[in-house]
Amino acid sequence: MPTIDEKRVYTDNSGTETVYLATGLGVVAVSVSDDLIGEFGVAERCHARDVATAGPLVAVATDEDVLVADRSAADGDASSAPGPSDTLDFAGTGFGPASAVGFDAGALLAGDEEGRIGRCAAPGDAASDENKGDATWTNVGSAGAVRAIDGGLVAAADGVYHVDDSGATHAGLDDARDVDAEPLVATGSGLFKLGNGWMDVLSDPVDAVDAVGTRALAVSEGTLYARDPDADTDEEAWHEEALPVDGDVVAVAHGAASSYAVTADGTLAVRLGDDEWRHRGLGVRDVAAAAV
């Protein structure tokens, strides 16, 4: 249970960010202040399969539609992320059932298990009071079953795709499971970065990856790996990262200064900079993705 001093920290939103988890129960929002995990609650009940954020917008892929909410509308201040006690008013966009969502230069991208990839140029319209639920999707191409999206990159069952105004172009690899716009691609045969072609930096199957600046995390068969930006070689850059809790890691994300890992049994772990990991059990299952 949080101490009195920890509770005081949560009342000051200036140092707080919200972590959104896509779960079988719905979108779970968790307030975190530095490395102190505070209140959490269900922001939207649905079968959430993926979640992404960009500025004030939160997008969720569900088995019925892509939902969008404007989190700045919860408290009228775009500079302060709402906590789980604030109401997020999600609206459907008309994409249909989706397996992945992501943002690229302000546009919302979504994909489904049939390989359809769509772009919504103004996702904020779907979340605004004036145009609630009003969204226009453009089909930008097709791939294998879409599993993850970040920036203009799409991870699909048959590899990684680059999406731009001309459509979706296969960019190599196979069995892509997650992608980060750096770019890093998690695949069934390893973690790849783009250099002189695709170069593998982890050789075991990798299911999730996320990077911000010099910070990067990856998940290989439930084990968490972290990147050392000062390593001499790519092979030495990634090392196994021990968490203070048992259980397979299923999702990773980064905030302004903190790194996050979520286990299959619903435990959220947070690390601020190079400090020790702190954690809290949330009691949620079927976690598919995390975003801040």
Distance CA 243, CA 249 (A): 9
The dihedral built from the CA positions of residue 137, 90, 146 and 153, taken in this order, carries a sign that is: positive
What rounded mean pLDDT belongs to the chain? 89
What per-residue confidence (pLDDT) applies to 104?
A: 96
What does pTM read for this prediction?
0.90
Residue 6's identity, in one-letter code, is E
pLDDT greater than 90 at residue 84 = no
Q: What is the pLDDT of residues 126-168, one digit of tens each?
A: 877 666 776 899 999 999 999 999 999 999 999 999 999 889 9
Q: What is the DSSP string of 73-103?
A: GGTT-TTS---TTSPP--EE-S--S-SEEEE
| Upstream peptide bond of 229 is cis (omega within 30 degrees of 0) | no
Task: Give the pLDDT mean for 186-191.
Answer: 98
Strands (E) located in 23-79: 26-33, 36-45, 48-54, 57-62, 66-70
What per-residue confidence (pLDDT) applies to 124?
A: 85
* 8 A C-beta contact, residue 123 and residue 135: yes
Please, what is the Cα angle at 11 between 6 and 17, to 5 degrees?
85
Task: Give the pLDDT mean for 12-32.
Answer: 88
- Decide the pairing of beta strands 16-22 and 57-62: unpaired
Q: Which residues contact 118 (CB under 8 A, 6 or more apart)?
A: 95, 109, 110, 111, 137, 138, 139, 140
Percent of the chain predicted with pLDDT > 70:
87
pLDDT greater than 70 at residue 79 = no
Distance CA 46, CA 60 (A): 10
Dmax over CA atoms of the chain, in Å, equals: 55
Q: Establish how many alpha carbons lie within 13 A of residue 70's alpha carbon, considering only the half-sphere containing its beta carbon.
A: 18
pLDDT greater than 70 at residue 12 = no
Task: Give the pLDDT mean for 27-51.
Answer: 96
pLDDT greater than 60 at residue 7 = no
- Specify the long-range contacts of residues 160-163, CB closer than 8 Å, at least 24 apart: 160/185, 161/117, 163/104, 163/109, 163/117, 163/119
Distance CA 166, CA 141 (A): 9
Task: Give the pLDDT mean for 180-192.
Answer: 97
- Specify the long-range contacts of residues 226-230, CB closer than 8 Å, at least 24 apart: 226/259
Region for 115 from its dihedrals, namely left if φ exceeds 0, alpha if ψ lies in -120 to 50, beta otherwise: left
Q: Is 197 exposed, middle or buried (0-12, 13-18, 19+ CB in 10 A)?
A: exposed
